[in-house]
Amino acid sequence: MSNRHTSKQARSRYGRYGGGDPLAPPVDIAEALDAIGQDVMAGYSPERAMREFLRRGGRDQRGLDDLARRVAERRRELLQRHNLDGTLEEIRQLLDQAVLEERKQLARDVDLDDFDRTLREMQLDAAHPQGGSPNVAAAVSELSSYDWQSRQAREDYEKIKDLLGRELLDQRFAGMKQALENATDEDRAAINEMLGDLNDLLEKRNRGEDTQADFDEFMAKHGDYFPEDPQDLDELLDAMAARAAAAQRMLNSMSAEQRAELMELSQQAFGSPALMESLARLDSNLQSLRPGEDWSGSERMDGDEGIGLGDGTGVFQDLADLDQLSEQLSQSYGGARMDDLDLDKLARQLGEDARVDARTLQELERALRDGGTLRRGSDGNLQLTPKAMRQLGKALLRDVADKMSGRQGQRELRRAGAAGDLSGATRPWEFGDTEPWHVPRTITNAVVRTAGEGRGLGAGVRLTVDDIEVQETEARTQACVALLVDTSFSMAMDGRWVPMKRTALALHTLIRSRFRGDALQLIGFGRHAEVMDIEELTALDAMWDKGTNLHHALLLANRHFRKHPNAQPVLLIVTDGEPTSHLEADGEVYFSYPPHPLTVAYAVRELDNSRRLGAQTTFFRLGDDPGLARFIDSMAQRVEGRVVAPELDDLGAAVVGSYLGSRGAPGTSMPYRGGYGDWFGGRGFWVGD
């Protein structure tokens, strides 16, 4: 190897393109949004919900957990495969071979004086007893002054010194073991010169005296030893300190006997103790300049595959990379972002498929954070945006439509109009009409009129205003809807919390997107009741206070109905328990279990008020408690309401279906009494963007 290096006027670095397929479609966040919404409804914060999805991954997307598992397996495989006596074993084999060749030569050399032969054999036996297990370091040291008779034995022994030097340099400079094979004395001198200049440069940095010009001069002279092509001293320091720290951890991981033997052997490297002095000086400088590296760690390696000092240092660097990747993949530290993932290290350790998976997760996180799905609230925490709530609501509404229609593909028909539903009748157009034209009747009118005027059709038919007929639509009445959802502790305890929230969001989405004239109010009632907007309800944590205050909820519902005197009141009550609390005259909450007769009476009184306001009432009973069933049945009979006892998975379909029935099915003026599938399957409503 030559130490000549031409001066670099400008350095260019090339690497693998890491931006992904530029023609690939953007990531689809629909699945992520659905999963995040489910977790938010279950009580997770949006930040935690997003982290959980990235951790789990999707149907066709591996998540952080899978990558972390592969990192752990890779780390375990490295530890279980290797042991640290590779260099010592290689030296032992070279020593055995050299001594064997020398003994053969002594036996063959008939011209050798018997006394000289005996003396040499005694020297060999002292350093390397036949049939014994020699101390390799001591043997190498004792034989350093031996006058080898065998040329092959002398070459094998010199290989030991050469191997030690190359391995020690390979610990600090990756690839040096191979680069210095068959090195000349000139090459070794160049190495020593480079180490001296490098130490001088590092000591200048320690004193704060170094400049970029010093670094450029060093690289112009010795750049061939640094194929990674650092652009400044900090880059060089980072790379060298990481490898030197790995070398130190490898040394720490050896047994005390292995360390002692290696230290003794290292003095023989290249037959020059000056090399060890330069390397010790280099290690000291690196530790001083990069104290944050792990210089004291250790690992236990019990595998069958021995590794040399250079390769072992590389393994310890791999272990350090895997530890960093494990921390990055955990995302458990403050301010963690997917962009923290080192994709190059991930690809190097696990392959290109891991890089692709991680990059997709990064793009997914960016799309969620920057694409209008999540935003920072006034408290600094992430929140679902209104856009995300709409997307989530549409997905839930599609699920509801699937359950109600009983078959796929019927829920996106665009036949229901915002101004009313077609009745099948037509009438002449009048000024101000916005109904759609009935094209066949309009054309027929024009043809009949033209023929009646005695003009032939050959001259064409021209439309006039009098020809136009429009399609009549049913007037759509406005509804005033109150959805009362039980938020008592039993709802959370029995797994009804998330279905309740899904139902509320589905109904909210339907009304906001298809029946905008309707007035919806969401009322949660536990120990007391409160009006909530949809964001509050979906983010509501489980309530563990005892109490089911139906009285307070009905008070709020009736207030809502009175604010909309011209609308049809629709009262929807979702509960899994009898009323156990009510409001006293002073506004305090009274609680009693079993239910106090006064509590029941207060609830019944407000329900009667709802009936007097004209409310169409439906109870959705959750659970199989006989007492609850009797109570709700009697309440429903009292106000000529209905009782539905759906399975949890069908709660949303039941509530939405009851709401639609209360409004009247499309094309009729009577309340809808048919099955859900009749309306959704036969006519459908559109759940579009």
User: Which contiguous run of DSSP H or E holds residue 598?
Assistant: helix 597-612
670 touches 616 (CB < 8 A): no
pLDDT per residue over 197-245, tens digit each? 999 999 999 999 999 999 999 999 999 889 888 999 999 999 999 999 9
CA distances (Å), 570 to each of 419, 526, 577, 616, 672, in order? 20, 21, 21, 5, 14
pLDDT given at position 26: 58
pLDDT greater than 60 at residue 154: yes
Q: What is the mean pLDDT of residues 345-372?
A: 88
pLDDT greater than 60 at residue 673: no
The rounded distance, in Å, linking the Cα atoms of 239 and 224 is: 15
Please choose, from the candidates 611, 591, 571, 569, the residue with its C-alpha nearest in 3D space to the C-alpha of residue 484: 571
User: Which contiguous run of DSSP H or E holds residue 392?
Assistant: helix 386-405
Q: What is the mean pLDDT of residues 445-467?
A: 78
- In single-letter form, the type of residue at position 553 comes to A
Q: Is the dihedral angle over the CA atoms 387, 499, 684, 573 positive or is it negative?
A: negative
646 touches 619 (CB < 8 A): no
Please choose, from the candidates 269, 261, 273, the residue with its C-alpha nearest in 3D space to the C-alpha of residue 169: 269
pLDDT per residue over 12-60, tens digit each? 555 555 555 554 455 677 788 888 877 777 767 777 888 888 899 888 8
Domain at 479-682, CATH class: alpha beta
pLDDT given at position 663: 67
Q: What is the mean pLDDT of residues 469-498?
A: 82
Instruction: Return the percent helix, strand and coil in the chain, to nearest 5.
Output: 55, 10, 35
Which residues are 112's β-sheet partners?
A: none
pLDDT greater than 70 at residue 664: no
Q: What is the mean pLDDT of residues 555-579?
A: 93
In which band, very low, low, confident or very high, does the pLDDT at 98 lie, cut at 50, 70 and 90?
Answer: very high
Per DSSP, the three-state class of 579 is: coil
pLDDT given at position 627: 85
The rounded distance, in Å, linking the Cα atoms of 609 and 655 is: 22
Q: What is the mean pLDDT of residues 465-484?
A: 81
The rounded distance, in Å, linking the Cα atoms of 40 and 680 is: 29
Q: Which of 89-93, 262-266, 469-473, 667-671 has the highest mean pLDDT?
A: 89-93
DSSP letters along 195-232, please?
Answer: HHHHHHHHHHHHHT---HHHHHHHHHHHGGG-TT--SS
pLDDT given at position 84: 87
pLDDT greater than 60 at residue 182: yes
Q: What is the mean pLDDT of residues 136-143?
A: 87
The rounded distance, in Å, linking the Cα atoms of 591 and 570 is: 28
pLDDT greater than 60 at residue 364: yes
pLDDT greater than 70 at residue 476: no
Structure tokens, 253: 């991981």
User: Which contiguous run of DSSP H or E holds residue 82?
Assistant: strand 82-83
pLDDT given at position 14: 54
pLDDT greater than 60 at residue 669: no
pLDDT greater than 80 at residue 390: no
Q: Is the dihedral angle over the CA atoms 137, 141, 144, 145 positive or is it negative?
A: negative
pLDDT greater than 80 at residue 605: yes
308 touches 87 (CB < 8 A): yes
Please choose, from the candidates 48, 121, 36, 24, the residue with its C-alpha nearest in 3D space to the C-alpha of residue 395: 36
pTM, two decimal places: 0.64
679 touches 624 (CB < 8 A): no
The rounded distance, in Å, linking the Cα atoms of 390 and 237 is: 52
pLDDT greater than 70 at residue 125: yes
- In single-letter form, the type of residue at position 65 comes to D
The rounded distance, in Å, linking the Cα atoms of 164 and 267 is: 9
Q: List the domain boundaries for the chain.
A: 30-82+321-384, 85-300, 422-473, 479-682
Per DSSP, the three-state class of 365 is: helix
Between 649 and 371, the higher pLDDT residue: 649
pLDDT greater than 60 at residue 249: yes
Angle at 454 between CA 452 and CA 460, to 5 degrees: 90
Among residues of the chain, what percentage have pLDDT more than 70?
A: 85
pLDDT per residue over 575-587, tens digit each? 988 999 999 989 8
pLDDT given at position 4: 40
- Determine how many CB atoms are found less than 10 A away from the CB of residue 657: 24
226 touches 37 (CB < 8 A): no
Please choose, from the candidates 155, 157, 86, 164, the residue with its C-alpha nearest in 3D space to the C-alpha of residue 124: 157
The rounded distance, in Å, linking the Cα atoms of 32 and 48 is: 13
Lowest pLDDT segment from 127-141, 163-177, 405-419, 527-541 = 405-419
**Residues near 502 by beta carbon (within 8 Å), at least 6 away in sequence:** 41, 396, 651, 652
pLDDT given at position 625: 85
pLDDT greater than 50 at residue 268: yes
pLDDT greater than 50 at residue 407: no
pLDDT given at position 456: 63
pLDDT given at position 408: 37
683 touches 666 (CB < 8 A): yes
The rounded distance, in Å, linking the Cα atoms of 164 and 273 is: 12
Q: What is the mean pLDDT of residues 414-440?
A: 64
- Site of tokens 């439309």: 463
pLDDT given at position 472: 73
Between 12 and 589, the higher pLDDT residue: 589
- Determine how many CB atoms are found less than 10 A away from the CB of residue 123: 16
Average pLDDT over all residues of the chain: 82
Structure tokens, 484: 């009362």
Which residues are 575's β-sheet partners?
A: 621
- Determine how many CB atoms are found less than 10 A away from the CB of residue 679: 20
Please choose, from the candidates 91, 95, 159, 157, the residue with its C-alpha nearest in 3D space to the C-alpha of residue 308: 91
Which DSSP letter does residue 291 get?
T
pLDDT given at position 483: 94
Q: What is the mean pLDDT of residues 321-344?
A: 90
pLDDT per residue over 612-660, tens digit each? 999 999 999 888 888 888 999 999 999 999 998 888 888 888 888 888 8
**Residues near 514 by beta carbon (within 8 Å), at least 6 away in sequence:** 416, 418, 685, 686
pLDDT given at position 380: 66
The alpha carbon of residue 450 and the mean position of all alpha carbons in its chain are separated, in whole angstroms, by 70
In which band, very low, low, confident or very high, does the pLDDT at 409 lie, cut at 50, 70 and 90?
Answer: very low
Please choose, from the candidates 341, 347, 381, 344, the residue with its C-alpha nearest in 3D space to the C-alpha of residue 364: 341
Structure tokens, 549: 């205050």
In which band, very low, low, confident or very high, does the pLDDT at 677 lie, cut at 50, 70 and 90?
Answer: very low
pLDDT given at position 210: 93
Q: What are phi and psi of 370, to 5 degrees?
A: -105, -5
In which band, very low, low, confident or very high, does the pLDDT at 132 lie, cut at 50, 70 and 90?
Answer: low
pLDDT given at position 2: 43
Q: Is the dihedral angle over the CA atoms 339, 341, 346, 350 positive or is it negative?
A: negative
